[in-house]
Amino acid sequence: MELRRVSFGHPDAVKLNDLVQREYAERYDSEGDVTPLEPAMFEPPHGLYLIAYDENGTPLATGGWRAQEADEMGYSDGDAELKRMFVVEEARRQGLARRILTALEDDARAAGRTRMVLETGIVQPEAIALYTSDGYEPCAKFGHYRFEPRSRCFAKPLRP
């Protein structure tokens, strides 16, 4: 596997984002995640977007982080928010999500971020299992879905 930095607007990122949106829509019986996201939000040094490719150049997994500061949506100064973690169905259970997560944490730490935060939901138990097994703990709700009952928020300090 090869991890590549790409723009959130890259065609492979758009393709994988469309797949994750379909999965969200099915799981939540909704229109998908409507959190406003723009490619500029993931540009270094204020973010990063990664895609994992197999040896044939097929995009299999994705994830990114974007910088956040204290605001009315519940973020704290120094936060790095994890977004669009996704692995295509045929590539799951191979450690790709954990590999991307580690790379994103390392990059956010190097950019001076002090805490990684994320929002997921109760109908994504495999995501919750990944994050809690990697040291993420429940935290006060933040972001676009902070008032959604099925939403769960987690945080992990990014220690040097």
Domain ranges in the chain are: 2-157
pTM: 0.95
- The answer to whether 155 touches 115, Cβ cutoff 8 Å, is yes
Q: How far apart are CA 131 and CA 7, in angstroms?
A: 24
* Nearest C-alpha neighbor of 84 from the set 69, 70, 100, 102: 100
Contacts of 128 (CB under 8 A, 6+ apart): 120, 122, 152, 154
Task: Give the residue, 66 or 34, on which the prediction is more confident.
Answer: 66
CATH (one of 3.40.630.30, 3.40.47.10, 3.30.1660.40, 1.10.10.10) for 2-157: 3.40.630.30
pLDDT at 35: 87
pLDDT of 22 reads 93
Q: How far apart are the first and last CA of the chain?
A: 27
| pLDDT of residue 33 exceeding 90 | no
Confidence of residue 50 (pLDDT cuts 50, 70, 90): very high
Q: Mean pLDDT, the chain, as a whole number? A: 96
